[in-house]
Homo-oligomer: A and B are copies of this chain.
């Protein structure tokens, strides 16, 4: 499978444009892909190898004075598969080049700072692929739904986040934002599995059901995120996540695209190759 097997580009079909409507979105669909799971797995392995190569070129650039980086932002309800993306997609590249951070409930110290404080501290270093498992978007998702700050406070954050991301992009960080969408039924099945299997108990938290009970409020909060922060420079990609293989393959494609748009080249030698070869031979 060497020619592109997508019917339509995942970049195009997954991107949240101005008309995007979460209420009519189907988390079990496989937009742009009409082949089966095996074909998807094969495509993912191919593109994963490409991703690993591109990531090494970015790493090399970073080691040679470059300042660019890529940041993958993962959002989604519990069980949407954020961890699986990290393990199976990010896991295909060299761990040396990955800066991973996950953002749970803020600590006391974090709460004492601006909500972007902990985010800025975790930004990828030059040459790295940063991965945020949850992110600053929690500050307009759970914070909004749970009324953790007044509406005029969270209401101001959308613009602030857009400004923050514009700053990131201007300083050389490509931002790839992925919202993984799981259906309520599929979430139930995944939570059930966590309860049925003792090796999955540690992933279960009774509070997950409290969040689940607020599904419509979260959908509304996600819709607002997509409406207000899917910008030209840092668009949202909404990825149906009921089929794990599709979600992982799609995110691999989004990352490959982000790296390819950097036009990466291997750094040129800043030494005299022939002279060094002569020194080496004499050593």
Contact = CB atoms under 8 A, between A and B. Distances in A.
Interface of A: 60, 63-64, 83, 86-87, 90-91, 94-96, 98, 100, 102, 131, 133, 188, 191-192, 195, 198-199, 201-204, 206, 209, 212-213, 266-269, 271, 273, 276-277, 279-280, 283
5 contacts: A87-B96, A192-B277, A199-B266, A202-B266, A213-B283
Interface secondary structure of A, over-half rule: helix
A86 B96 contact: yes
Given A96-B100, A209-B279, 15 more contacts: A60-B202, A86-B95, A95-B131, A96-B102, A98-B100, A188-B280, A188-B283, A201-B268, A201-B273, A202-B267, A204-B276, A206-B271, A209-B276, A209-B283, A212-B283
Contacts of A133: 96
A94 B89 CA distance: 10
Instruction: Report how many copies the assembly holds.
Output: 2
Contacts of A283: 188, 209, 212-213
Between A86, A95, A98, A201, the greatest number of chain B beta carbons within 10 A of the residue's beta carbon is seen for A95
A104 to B, nearest CB: 10
Contacts of A271: 204, 206
Between A90, A209, A212, A283, the greatest number of chain B beta carbons within 10 A of the residue's beta carbon is seen for A283
A266 B95 contact: no
Nearest to A206: B271
A90 B277 CA distance: 32
Given A277-B192, A283-B188, A87 B94 contact: yes
A135 B78 CA distance: 38
Between A131, A202, A209, A266, the greatest number of chain B beta carbons within 10 A of the residue's beta carbon is seen for A202
A133 B94 CA distance: 13
Contact of A202 (B64, B94, B280): B64
Nearest to A94: B87
A64 B204 CA distance: 11
Nearest to A64: B202
Closest 9 CB pairs of A and B: A60-B202, A201-B269, A87-B94, A202-B267, A199-B266, A206-B271, A86-B96, A195-B277, A90-B95
Contacts of A94: 83, 86-87, 91
Contacts of A188: 280, 283
Contact of A195 (B60, B209, B212, B273): B273
